Structure 1
Amino acid sequence: MAELTEIKSLLSQINLPEKEQEDLLSISKIKQLKKNEFFISEGQVPKKFGIVIDGLFRYYYVNNKGDEFTKGLILTGNVLTAYSAMLHQQKSLFYIQALEDAVILEINYNLWLELKKQNPFWDKFLILLLQKGYCVKEKRERELLLLDAETRYKIFQEEFPTLEKRIKLQIIASYLGIKPESLSRIRKKTTS
């Protein structure tokens, strides 16, 4: 289990002042998830969000044929949330799955809303998180719409240099928007 000092260190790295760290910890719980366990499932109305203390997660959709489409990869120090579903208290349209054993700081959304009412810091913090998420989303959309698969793979390797050793190639292919066979061809071409 993650030590409190480790959690506080991580919260400092994401620019949470000491008082806000204490406030957040007072409404949170440390939760361990096993590899392949879901933090949020499609169809669930989310009432929580989390901060990844240790581990790796993915956001993904499943179509009516059972094909998976990885929308994002979430590393240590980042927030886990199906934000629009949580905000509107609607069912999540995607899954949030641990890709390895993980530890998160799980935050109850309703308690966080109460905290937010008491301290304007949380509005500013939320805006920063939303800006970061929007920039990631905009970059990802551009890459998927305008760049070829080989270029997307090179960008993936630059952004996530250790992930190929940590996750299945089919998840990487899903993230890149290609079939696993295409990824195998690209990998063969780039390593030869």
Structure 2
Amino acid sequence: MTFPELQQFFSQYSDIPPEEWTDFSTFVRTQFISRDESFISLGDTNGHIGFVVKGLFRVCYIDSDGGRFIRNFCAEGTLISAYTEALQEKPAEIEIQAIEH
């Protein structure tokens, strides 16, 4: 697969030679997330990074009483992840959930 939307996203920042893009794309897979399904759940340790091709996601903090506080939204053409936790190899302190498919 060529993942044209992702390739276009990265080309805004740097020219990626075709052979390097081919190598990189072997690590990329397509995943469909349904509305109300989580890409990252509170406590996840998977370190996944996603790219929104279609839809809208909300990023929430969840307090100890179960209250949700929206931090931001991620629209088409953006990367999504619990970046800080992934870099520090800690459980996710946020939830990333699809709200539009």
TM-score by length of 2: 0.82
Q: Please give the per-residue CA displacement for 1:20-56, whole angstroms capped at 9, x wherever unaligned.
A: 4323211111000100101110111133111111111
Distance (whole Å) between structure 2 residues aligned to residue 21 and residue 54 of structure 1: 22
- Name structure 1 gaps, 5 residues minimum: 102-192
**Secondary structure of 1:92's match?**
coil
Q: In percent, how many aligned pairs have the same letter? A: 27
Deviation at 1:19, TM superposition (A): 3.7
| Number of positions where the alignment pairs a residue of Structure 1 with one of Structure 2 | 97
Distance (whole Å) between structure 2 residues aligned to residue 83 and residue 26 of structure 1: 21
Structure 1 segments (4+ residues) deviating >6 Å: none
TM-score by length of 1: 0.46
Q: Compare CA radii of gyration and give the structure with the larger one.
A: 1
Alignment of 1:70-109 (within 5 A): 70-101=70-101
- Name structure 2 gaps, 5 residues minimum: none
**Secondary structure of 2:43's match?**
coil
| 1:61 corresponds to 2:61 | yes
Deviation at 1:9, TM superposition (A): 4.1
With a CA cutoff of 8 Å and minimum separation of 6, indicate the structure with the bigger relative contact order.
2
**Secondary structure of 1:23's match?**
helix
Relative to 1, partners in 2 of residues 1:23 and 1:34: Cα closer, same or farther, differing over 3 Å?
same
C-alpha RMSD of matched pairs (Å) = 1.8
**Secondary structure of 1:73's match?**
strand
| 1:12 corresponds to 2:8 | yes
